Structure 1
Amino acid sequence: MAPWLQLLLLLGLLPGAAPAPNEPRAAGAQAWELASPELLEPARFALEMYNRGRAARTRATLRVVRGGVRRAGRGSLYSLKATLVEPPCNDPTVCQLRVSKKTLLCSFEVLDELGKHMLLRQDCGPVDTKITDDKNETFSSFLPLLNKDPLPQDFSVKMVSIFKDFVTTYNRTYETTEARWRMSVFANNMVRAQKIQALDRGTARYGVTKFSDLTEEEFRTIYLNPLLKEEPDKRMRLAQSIPDLPPPEWDWRSKGAVTKVKDQGMCGSCWAFSVTGNVEGQWFLKRGSLLSLSEQELLDCDKVDKACLGGLPSNAYSAIRTLGGLETEDDYSYHGHLQACSFSAEKAKVYINDSVELSQNEQKLAAWLAKKGPISVAINAFGMQFYRHGISHPLRPLCSPWLIDHAVLLVGYGNRSATPFWAIKNSWGTDWGEEGYYYLHRGSGACGVNIMASSAVVD
């Protein structure tokens, strides 16, 4: 293995390499409350996943479950604590030794999105191996030793204070047992953010964001778009390059071509926001009217893409043409989950005639943007979970252009203190980044920003 790969692996910064936080264990099932009816369905799904591949006579049963839920729109993330009972094993064809029935204490993370469940985390162990009595524990007692990194003596005190500020700032509420887990996740994330900060070659600052209590897997599953890694079924025609050199800087926000920052919520619908942002700009340039267009129409009516489970801009352009246009946000409002298509051709305010793929040369992209308007692009979202402000410039192995997983909108470019940047409109609300915007190094193909650039065409 190359030395730099070994370094990144040790730092836990390669995709999937970050260790899961050590979760403290509760005393036992007897002190737990019965589940609310709402928790039963995700708990049964988690049990089904636990039992997958097991013979019928060896499957565990669910005894007691409790937990909490986080919601945005109609997406729900369940954090469950459950006791499972495995039957005694007396069949010599299945087990080598006779084993009495066993009670397990399990932690599950279950995502409910579009009526479908997905198991994000499963951690089970015998009840008698758990730490006892958690009633008088403080947050500082939950901190794991993170990657065995040397930590200052006052680390736990500082982390408790930072975590309390985070909970207050973002209005978090947790069940007692979930708070322990989230504190552990948060602490690991702060160490991870520090490592990303140390290796960044730009001016970006990383730290606490509204996503700091999510594991890497949770964040990717809920907010990113794995379908962008796939090649589109059909390629769009290549746009003609702009022959002129681009101006030294450009910003469509100051020219009235960009709507306010929106929030996709707990839904992997970035592809729809990227495309509507591009169409909004194209319509403004051709018709002189800036309209906020409906992402929900694309979630509901684009039958090729997968709504909150991801999509491709190329498919979205085709869907707009097939449907006959886009309604406005006011007429077809965003709910962040799949609904029945209720598009009305009579209400469509905007149409497109075609879509084009743009050059991967960043100077040509800049020239096209300055002349033609905001551009739909896809990027690798490495580090964005913890991005606060500044120009991000991750090492290429960390932010591979071949692992793009988030669609956004290029709205401008320029330089800050001689550092060239792309100004990128994101769809995670104004309480993330620089009032909802992300700044990425320009000219180095950072994070694959130039790989999947496209635009609608309005005649």
Structure 2
Amino acid sequence: MAPWLQLLLLLGLLPGAAPAPNEPRAAGAQAWELASPELLEPARFALEMYNRGRAARTRAALRVVRGRVRRAGRGSLYSLKATLVEPPCNDPTVCQLPVSKKTLLCSFEVLNELGKHMLLRRDCGPVDTKITDDKSETFSSFLPLLNKDPLSQDFSVKMASIFKDFVTTYNRTYDTKEARWRMSVFANNMVRAQKIQALDRGTARYGVTKFSDLTEEEFRTIYLNPLLKEEPGKKMRLAQSIPDLPPPEWDWRSKGAVTKVKDQGMCGSCWAFSVTGNVEGQWFLKRGALLSLSEQELLDCDKVDKACLGGLPSSAYSAIRTLGGLETEDDYSYRGHLQTCSFSAVKAKVYINDSVELSQNEQKLAAWLAKKGPISVAINAFGMQFYRHGISHPLRPLCSPWLIDHAVLLVGYGNRSATPFWAIKNSWGTDWGEEGYYYLHRGSGACGVNIMASSAVVD
């Protein structure tokens, strides 16, 4: 293995470096005592997520489950209370100290939508731990969690202060047990952000964001779009290239072709926002009117894509044509979860005639953008959980173009201090990045930005 690959593996930043989740399961790990058979699959999934990355001999067994379920569109949201038994551990190669068997009380929230499970929340603690919402507990009580790590006391004190500021800034509320867990996640994320920072070749700064209390798995499951790398898109015709050289810089925001930054919420609907952003720009260029269009219509009425579980721009274009157009955001407002389709052709304000695939040559992309409007693209979202500002330029092995998982909108390009960039409209609200925008290195195929570029066609 090359020395730089070994370095990335040791830092835990190389995709696939985490322990494999499919190791043999420990004996008794499926000893179910369920209050209802309907809880079997969500409880099994919650346990698998809890045990993910653990050696077989240290995996917990789930003993008792109680829960309730409520419907969410075409899916179900399960709120589970479970008793987990962690086996004793006396193996010095696995456990730093001998650990006796212990029982945990856990709360899980599992969303099942279109046959796929997503873990939205996990909160575990000893059975005899008192659950409380006492907000007066001082943050110094969280420090023992960090003392178990090879981190200095000074680091722990500083991290507790930063976490307290984070909780205040983003208006977080946790009970005592979850606060301890989130403090631990936050501290690990800050270390990870520092590693990403050290290896970035651009001007980007990484650190505290509104996603800093989420595990990598939670962030990926809730906000990203795995279908982009797992499923082939509908084949579109290749657009004719623009023969002219692109201008040195371009920005459709200053020309009135881009609506305000939106927020997809806790839903993997980036594909819908990328497509509506493109159609908004195309309609503006052809009709002279900038309309904010409905992403919720696509979530509810596009029967090929999978709403909050992900989708493909190519399929979304086809859905718009099949439906007969898009309603505006005002007429069909965003809810962030799957609902019954309520599209009305009478209310449709925008239509498209076709969709096209664009060149993977970034100079040709820039020329097309400057002439034709904002472009729907998909990228690998590596590092974006902690992105604050600047031009991101991750190492290619960390941000593989073949592992794209987030759809966004190219709205412009240019240079900052001789560093070329793409200006990218994201869909995580204005309290992320540079007022909702992401800047990515241009000209190197960074994070696969050139792999899945497309646009609607309005005649």
TM category (shorter chain) comes to: 0.7 to 0.9
Q: CA deviation at 1:73?
A: 12
1:11-32: CA deviations, max 9, x gaps? 0112253689999999999999
- Residues 123 and 177 in structure 2, CA contact (< 8 A), matched pair in contact too: no
Structure 2 CA distance for partners of 1:30 and 1:175, relative to 1, 3 Å? farther
> What is the deviation of 1:46?
4.0
Kindly state the Cα deviation for residue 5 of structure 1 after the two structures are TM-superposed.
1.6
* Mean CA deviation greater in 86-95 or 413-422: 86-95
Which digits, 9 at most, give the CA deviation of each residue in 1:430-449, with x for residues without a partner? 00000000000000000000
Paired with 2:134 and 2:33, the residues of 1 have a C-alpha distance of: 15
Distance in 2, Cα, partners of 1:448 & 1:97 = 44
User: What SS is found at the alignment partner of 1:103?
Assistant: strand
> How far is the alpha carbon of 1:110 from its aligned partner?
3.6
Q: 1:294 Cα shift?
A: 0.3
1:113 and 1:337 in contact (8 A); partners too: no
Deviation at 1:82, TM superposition (A): 3.9
Question: Distance in 1 between the 2:57 and 2:190 partners?
Answer: 44
Cα offset for 1:118? 3.0
- Give per-residue Cα distances to partners, 1:382-426, cap 9 Å, x unaligned: 000000000000000000000000000000000000000000000
CA contact (8 A) 1:75 1:266 kept: no
> Is the 1:380–1:447 Cα contact (8 Å) retained in structure 2?
yes
The CA distance in 1 between the partners of 2:377 and 2:455, in whole Å, is: 9
Contact 1:259 1:291 in 2 (8 A): yes
CA apart distance, 1:232: 2.6
Is the CA contact 1:24–1:180 (under 8 Å) kept in the aligned structure 2?
Answer: no
Q: More displaced, 429-438 or 101-110?
A: 101-110
Q: Residue 133 of structure 2 contacts residue 174 of structure 2 at CA under 8 Å; is this kept in 1?
A: no
Change (3 A) 1:148 1:86: closer
Shift of 1:72: 13
Q: How many residues were matched structurally?
A: 459
Say whether the 8 Å CA contact 1:75–1:267 is kept in structure 2: no
Deviates more, 1:70-79 or 1:373-382: 70-79
Q: Secondary structure at 1:159's aligned position in 2?
A: helix
What TM-score do you get using the length of structure 1 for normalisation? 0.81
Partners of 1:232 and 1:314 within 8 A in 2: no
1: distance between equivalents of 2:58 and 2:147? 36
The Cα offsets for residues 170-210 of structure 1, whole Å up to 9 and x where unpaired, read as: 00000110000000000000000000000000000000000
Alpha-carbon RMSD: 7.1
Once the two structures are superposed, residues 218-274 of structure 1 have per-residue CA deviations (whole angstroms, 9 ceiling, x without a partner) of 000000000000343531000010000000000000000000000000000000000
Answer whether contact 2:85 2:101 (CA < 8 A) is retained: yes
Structure-2 separation of matches of 1:53 and 1:126: 21
Deviates more, 1:21-30 or 1:107-116: 21-30
Return 268-277 or 227-236, whichever deviates more: 227-236
Aligned-partner Cα distance in 2 for 1:435–1:363: 26
Structure 2, gaps ≥5 residues long: none
d(CA) in 1 for partners of 2:193, 2:93: 49
- Preserved CA contact (<8 Å) 1:23 1:181: no
1:323-374 alpha-carbon deviations (Å, 9 max, x no partner): 0000000000000000111111111000000000000000000000000000
409-418 or 127-136, which moves further after superposition? 127-136
Kept in 2: contact 1:374–1:410 (CA 8 A): yes
Distance 1:28 1:273, change over 3 A: same
1:30 match: secondary structure: coil
Which range moved further: 74-83 or 102-111? 74-83
Shifted more, 57-66 versus 85-94: the winner is 85-94
SS of match in other structure, 2:315: helix
Closer, same or farther: CA 136–275 of 1 in aligned 2, 3 Å: closer
After superposition, give the CA deviation of every residue in 1:23-70 in whole Å (9 maximum; x if it has no partner).
Answer: 999999999999999999976974799999999999999888899999
State which drifts further: 15-24 or 314-323.
15-24
Report if the CA contact (8 A) 2:74-2:339 is conserved: no
CA contact (8 A) 1:28 1:105 kept: no
CA–CA separation in structure 2 for the residues paired with 1:53 and 1:438: 31
Q: Retained in 1: the 8 A contact 2:183–2:213? A: yes
Mapped to 1, the partners of 2:118 and 2:30 lie a distance apart of 28
Alpha-carbon distance change, 385 to 22 in structure 1, aligned in 2, over 3 angstroms: farther
Where does the alignment leave 5 or more consecutive residues of structure 1 unmatched?
none
Aligned equivalents of 1:57, 1:379: Cα separation in 2: 38
Q: SS in structure 2 opposite 1:157?
A: helix
Alpha carbons of structure 1 residues 407 and 93: separation in structure 2 relative to 1, 3 Å: closer
Change (3 A) 1:169 1:60: closer
* Cα offset, 1:120, TM superposition: 7.0
Indicate the SS of the match to 1:129.
coil
Contact 2:26 2:56 in 1 (8 A): no
Output the CA distance in 1 between the equivalents of 2:227 and 2:298: 16
State the Cα distance separating 1:6 from its structure 2 match.
1.2
- 2:296 and 2:68 mapped to 1: Cα distance? 28
Q: Is the 8 A contact 1:143 1:187 kept in 2?
A: no
**Matches of 2:228 and 2:275, distance apart in 1:** 13
Q: Does the C-alpha gap of structure 1 residues 245 and 126 become closer, same or farther in structure 2, counting only changes over 3 Å?
A: same
Whether the 8 Å CA contact 1:381–1:404 is kept in 2: the answer is yes
Q: State whether structure 2 residue 42 is matched by structure 1 residue 42.
A: yes
Change (3 A) 1:193 1:60: closer
Give the share of equivalent positions with the same residue, in percent.
96
Aligned pair in 2 of structure 1 residues 29, 324: CA closer, same or farther (>3 Å)?
closer
- Tell me which residue corresponds to 1:249: 249
Distance 2:294 2:204 in 1: 32
When residues 69 and 382 of structure 1 are mapped into structure 2, their CA distance, relative to the original with a 3 A threshold, is: farther
1: distance between equivalents of 2:12 and 2:445?
24
Deviates more, 1:325-334 or 1:118-127: 118-127
Tell me how far apart the structure 1 counterparts of residues 227 and 160 of structure 2 sit (CA, whole Å): 38
What's the CA shift for 1:79? 9.3
What CA distance in whole angstroms lies between the structure 2 residues aligned with 1:27 and 1:160?
39
CA offsets per residue over residues 261-297 of structure 1, 9 Å max, x none? 0000000000000000000000000000000000000
- Partners of 2:95 and 2:436 lie apart in 1 by 56
Contact kept, 8 Å, 2:327 with 2:343, in 1: the verdict is yes
* Structure 1 position 319, deviation (Å): 0.4
